[in-house]
Amino acid sequence: MRLPEIDWQPVSRIQLICWMAFYGLLLFYLGLHWGQLTLLDNVHLPIHEGGHLLFGWLGETIGLWGGTLLQLLVPALLTVSFAVRRELPGTTFCAFAFFHSLTGVATYMADALRLELPLVTVGGAGDEVEHDWVRIFSSLGVLPHAIQIGNFTRLVAWAGMVGTVAWLAWRSSRQTDASTAKAAHL
């Protein structure tokens, strides 16, 4: 038995054009800065640092992982929230933000061998700052593969960003096809 599909809230043609232009320009900008942190990553940084504080109450290991966990959990939960309400632009934006945040995680992962990124922490002195992914990869025994893991994570993130935009276009075209079919039946 097939469940009936619940329609998403409609998106006008002009809204779709504006959103597609926005994502196209954003992908172009991010492509020009492949493998680098951008100003957009500063949106994720306070959430990341807050994750260390929040999850740190549960122990040192989960506190270490907590930065990345919260950094990814926030846009993921927002995506689900918009999807439940069937709001296409919000779902797309938050899913895109999730995958964009994952590009920052990838850059941080790959930096575990290079140690070139400036590190930030809440309440610690500059010389006390430890690189999360050096500690995580060392504990997992995969530190020598940090660059490969980071590059693979970046590819997944980019596939997710492009896929999210493609899904927006596909979902909107289905909406247009459905409204055209309804008009033909009237």
Residues 76 and 83: their CA atoms lie apart, in Å, by 11
User: Tell me: the pLDDT tens digits for 60-100?
Assistant: 999 999 999 999 999 999 999 999 999 999 999 999 999 99
End-to-end CA, the chain? 28
pTM exceeds cut of 0.75: yes
Contacts of 6 (CB under 8 A, 6+ apart): 86
